[in-house]
C-alpha cells in the first residue's frame, strides 16, 4: 500500500494478465461465448464437484475452458467418450454418463434453448423444469381430481398412459426438425422486430431480452472463479463482463441482438446426432443387462433413434419432442385436466367412455407424428376412489401415500446402515475408526433424502417406525432427529 493512501493495489499474476489480454482482444461474440461457457461450467459442477470427472476437469479448468471455447468457435468440437453402466434402482435402466467436458456443452446449450422453449411448454409438463418436478406433478394431479370431482362429490375417472421405450424410440431427425422450426421462427420474429419496431422501445427491448438471451451478464461466477485462484482479476471482472458482452443494443430501428444461431445449430447437430454407443466405456458386466428389455437399451435402438439416459439435454429434448403432443391433447382433444412427466401422462375426466375413446386417437397421433408406441400393458383407467399411482405417490381421496417401492427401498437402506454399524462396532479401536467417521455425513444425507421425500405426504407414522423401530438404537450415540421425524442430524459427542 503506497504511503498516504487508503487503497490497495492488486497486481495481477502473469497468467491473469495473459487471460485479460486474450479476453480484451476477442470480438464481442467470442467474449459472450466465453462468459457463457464459464457459467455452464459452474452449472455443470453444481452438486457434482466431488466426482472424479469434475475433479479431473477442475485441474487447470481455465485453460480447458479456453480450449473448449476455441474448439467451438473453430467448429472442431467433438463429443468425447461416455461411460455406460446399468442401475437397478429405482428401476433397471441403461445409463450413458457423458464426459464432464461434454456436460459443460450440454449446460451451455440448455442455457440458450431453455428460455425459448419454456414459453412454449404447457405449465403441466413437469420434468426437468425450474419450479416443477415430481412433487409439483403429484400436487397438480391431486388438484385435478378434486376439481373434476367437485371435492370428491361427483364421479370422475383417471386415465394413465405410458410410452413404450420412450427415450430409445425418439427419432433424432424429427427432434432436430422440431428444434430447428422453433429457432427459425424465433429468428424470423426477431428480424421482423428489427424491420417493424414497436412504438414502445423499452417494451421491444425487453421482448428481445426475454426471447433470445437466457441469462443476463453475471459476474457472480467470475467472482467465484477469482476467489478460487482463477484467471480473471476480481477488480476488473465486473467491468469486463458488463462492457464486453452486450445482450442488446438500442438502434434507430429498434434493437439489435448478438444471438449466434449458427453456433446453436452447430452444437445441436453435434449433440442430437451423436451416437454414444460408438464411443463408450462399458463399466457394467454383460450379465447386468440380463432382464433389461431391448426397447430400453440404446444398443438395440434403430438407425437415428434414441437419446442416452443420463444427459441434461436428453431430459430437455424429451420435453421438446412431446410438446406438440401436449398441445394436441390439451387443445385438440379438449382435455382440461392433463399432465405429463417425461413419458408418463394422466388425464382426468368425468366421462369414462370419453377417456376410452381418446386412447385410439392418442395412439394414432404418437405413431403417425412421432414414431412412438403406447405401452399396452400400462393403460390404467379407474374411478378416482380407487386412487392412482403417479410419480412415486398413491393419490386417494383426502390423502396421499408414498408408494410401496419407496418404502421398501428406505427399509433396505436402513438395514444396510445397521449392518455397517454392526461391523464397525466389532472393530477393536471403535469408535475411533476413521472410515466410520467419514460415513457420518453419508448416513445423514442418505436417510434425509428419504425423509425429505416422505415429508410431503401422509407418512408421519411410517417415518417414526423407521427411525424408532427399524434403525438400531445404537445410532442414538451418534445421531438424533427432530420431533416430527423430518430430519436426521449428527450430535456432538459419541456415547459408547
pLDDT in tens, 184-195: 877 655 554 444
Average pLDDT over residues 292-310: 88
CA separation for the pair 98, 104 (Å, rounded) = 10
Residue 140 predicted with pLDDT over 60: yes
pLDDT of residue 342: 92
Owner of C-alpha cell 440380463: 290
pLDDT of residue 395: 93
pLDDT of residue 438: 63
Query: In this structure, what DSSP letter does residue 473 have?
Result: G
CA separation for the pair 403, 392 (Å, rounded) = 5
Average pLDDT over residues 4-24: 46
| pTM for the model | 0.77
Q: Peptide bond preceding 203: is omega within 30 degrees of 0, i.e. cis?
A: no
- The 10 Å CB-count burial string (b at 16+, else e) for 136-173 is bbbebbbebbbebbeeeeeebbbbbbbbbbbbbbbbbe
346, containing H or E segment: strand 344-349
Nearest to 125 by CA among 395, 400, 318: 318
How many CA atoms lie within 13 Å of 292's alpha carbon, on the beta-carbon side?
A: 22
pLDDT in tens, 182-236: 888 776 555 544 444 444 433 343 344 334 433 333 333 333 443 444 433 333 3
pLDDT of residue 425: 72
237, containing H or E segment: helix 234-244
Nearest to 83 by CA among 281, 342, 348, 318: 281
pLDDT of residue 491: 75
pLDDT of residue 227: 42
- Residues with Cβ within 8 Å of residue 100, at least 6 apart in sequence: 44, 45, 53, 54, 56, 57
Owner of C-alpha cell 397438480: 140
pLDDT of residue 19: 47
pLDDT in tens, 389-438: 999 899 999 999 898 888 988 999 999 888 887 877 776 555 544 555 56
Model confidence at 20, pLDDT cuts 50, 70, 90, reads low
CB 148 within 8 A of CB 349: yes
- Length of the chain in terms of residues written: 496
pLDDT of residue 239: 33
pLDDT in tens, 318-371: 999 999 999 999 999 999 999 999 999 999 999 999 999 999 999 999 999 999
Q: Which three cell numbers stand for residue 471?
A: 434403525
Q: Peptide bond preceding 90: is omega within 30 degrees of 0, i.e. cis?
A: yes
Share of the chain above pLDDT 70, in %: 76
Distance of CA 99 to the CA centre of its chain: 17
Alpha helices in 289-374 (DSSP H): 312-321, 323-327, 352-365
Nearest to 374 by CA among 383, 361, 390, 387: 361
CA separation for the pair 217, 239 (Å, rounded) = 11
pLDDT of residue 305: 92
Amino acid at each position: 500500500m503506497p504511503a498516504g493512501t487508503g487503497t490497495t493495489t492488486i497486481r495481477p499474476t502473469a497468467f491473469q494478465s495473459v487471460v485479460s489480454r486474450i479476453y480484451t482482444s476477442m470480438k464481442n461474440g467470442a467474449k459472450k461465448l466465453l462468459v457463457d461457457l464459464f457459467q455452464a461450467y459452474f452449472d455443470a459442477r453444481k452438486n457434482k464437484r466431488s466426482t472424479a470427472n469434475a475433479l479431473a476437469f477442475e485441474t487447470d479448468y481455465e485453460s480447458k475452458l479456453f480450449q473448449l471455447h476455441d474448439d467451438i468457435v473453430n467448429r472442431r468440437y467433438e463429443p468425447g467418450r461416455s461411460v455406460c453402466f446399468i442401475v437397478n434402482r429405482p428401476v433397471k435402466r441403461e445409463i450413458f454418463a457423458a464426459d464432464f467436458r461434454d456436460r459443460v456443452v450440454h449446460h451451455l446449450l440448455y442455457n440458450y434453448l431453455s428460455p425459448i422453449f419454456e414459453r412454449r411448454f404447457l405449465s403441466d409438463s413437469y420434468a426437468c423444469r425450474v419450479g416443477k418436478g415430481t412433487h409439483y406433478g403429484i400436487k397438480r394431479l391431486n388438484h385435478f381430481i378434486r376439481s373434476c370431482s367437485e371435492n370428491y362429490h361427483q364421479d370422475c375417472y383417471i386415465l394413465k398412459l405410458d410410452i413404450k421405450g420412450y427415450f430409445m424410440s425418439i427419432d433424432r431427425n424429427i427432434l432436430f426438425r422440431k428444434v430447428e422450426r422453433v429457432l427459425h421462427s424465433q429468428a424470423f420474429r426477431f428480424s421482423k422486430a428489427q424491420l417493424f419496431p414497436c412504438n414502445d422501445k423499452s417494451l421491444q427491448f425487453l421482448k428481445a431480452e426475454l426471447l433470445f438471451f437466457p441469462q443476463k451478464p453475471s459476474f457472480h461466477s467470475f467472482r467465484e472463479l477469482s476467489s478460487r485462484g482463477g484467471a480473471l482479476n476480481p477488480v476488473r471482472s465486473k467491468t469486463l463482463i458488463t462492457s464486453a458482452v452486450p445482450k442488446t443494443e438500442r438502434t434507430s430501428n429498434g434493437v439489435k441482438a448478438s444471438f449466434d444461431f449458427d453456433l446453436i445449430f452447430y452444437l445441436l447437430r453435434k449433440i442430437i446426432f451423436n451416437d454414444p454407443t460408438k464411443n463408450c466405456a462399458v463399466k457394467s458386466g454383460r450379465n447386468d443387462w440380463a432382464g433389461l428389455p431391448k426397447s430400453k437399451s440404446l444398443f438395440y435402438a434403430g438407425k437415428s433413434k434414441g437419446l442416452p439416459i443420463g444427459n441434461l439435454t436428453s431430459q430437455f429434448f424429451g420435453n421438446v419432442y412431446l410438446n406438440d403432443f401436449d398441445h394436441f391433447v390439451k387443445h385438440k382433444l379438449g382435455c382440461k385436466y392433463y399432465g405429463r412427466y417425461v413419458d408418463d401422462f394422466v388425464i382426468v375426466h368425468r366421462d369414462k367412455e370419453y377417456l376410452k375413446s381418446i386412447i385410439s386417437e392418442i395412439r394414432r397421433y404418437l405413431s403417425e407424428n412421432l414414431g412412438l408406441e403406447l405401452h399396452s400393458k400400462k393403460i390404467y383407467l379407474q374411478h378416482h376412489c380407487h386412487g392412482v399411482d403417479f410419480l412415486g405417490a398413491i393419490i386417494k381421496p383426502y390423502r396421499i401415500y408414498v408408494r410401496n417401492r419407496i418404502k421398501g427401498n428406505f427399509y433396505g437402506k436402513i438395514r444396510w446402515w445397521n449392518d455397517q454399524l454392526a461391523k464397525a462396532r466389532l472393530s477393536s479401536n471403535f469408535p475411533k475408526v476413521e472410515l466410520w467417521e467419514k460415513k457420518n455425513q453419508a448416513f445423514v444425507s442418505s436417510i434425509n433424502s428419504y425423509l425429505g421425500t416422505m415429508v410431503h405426504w401422509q407418512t408421519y407414522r411410517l417415518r417414526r417406525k423407521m427411525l424408532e423401530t427399524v434403525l438400531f438404537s445404537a445410532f442414538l450415540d451418534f445421531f438424533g432427529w427432530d420431533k416430527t421425524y423430518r430430519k436426521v442430524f449428527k450430535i456432538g459427542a459419541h456415547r459408547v
